[in-house]
């Protein structure tokens, strides 16, 4: 199940990459006006535009993190991060 893209997630992903709205618009095929309207929460994001944005961002190693359910009274929110490379089996995590 895909994480629903929100204005905050898209802004955070752009910041992670150092991209302007214009850069993301160019790379995704979504107009800068539509992206701006969505980020300012003036208009909802269409499913087609969401998929284009997700594809462009994920192609540059951005990973969207889903909101977890409440666990032990703590709600862990959604976010973005660099997509980790496949884990190496010879590295031990302590």
Residue ranges per structural domain of the chain: 7-82
Lowest mean pLDDT among 51-60, 72-81, 85-94: 85-94
pTM of the predicted model, to two decimals?
A: 0.77
pLDDT in tens, 7-45: 999 999 999 999 999 999 999 999 999 999 999 999 998
49 pLDDT higher than 90? yes
Q: Which homologous superfamily is 7-82 in?
A: lambda repressor-like DNA-binding domains (1.10.260.40)
Compute the CA torsion angle 21, 22, 25, 26 (nearest 10 deg). Answer: -150
pLDDT in tens, 59-71: 999 988 876 666 6
CA distances from 9 to 12, 40, 79, 92 (A): 5, 12, 6, 31
């Amino acid at each position: 199940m895909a994480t629903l893209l929100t204005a905050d997630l898209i802004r955070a992903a752009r910041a992670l990459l150092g991209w302007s709205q214009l850069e993301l618009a160019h790379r995704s095929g979504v107009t800068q006006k539509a992206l701006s309207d969505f980020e300012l929460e003036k208009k909802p994001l269409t499913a087609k535009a969401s998929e284009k944005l997700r594809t462009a961002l994920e192609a540059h190693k951005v990973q969207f993190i889903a909101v977890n359910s409440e666990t032990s009274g703590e709600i862990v929110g959604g976010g973005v991060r660099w997509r980790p490379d496949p884990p190496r089996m010879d590295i031990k995590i302590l």
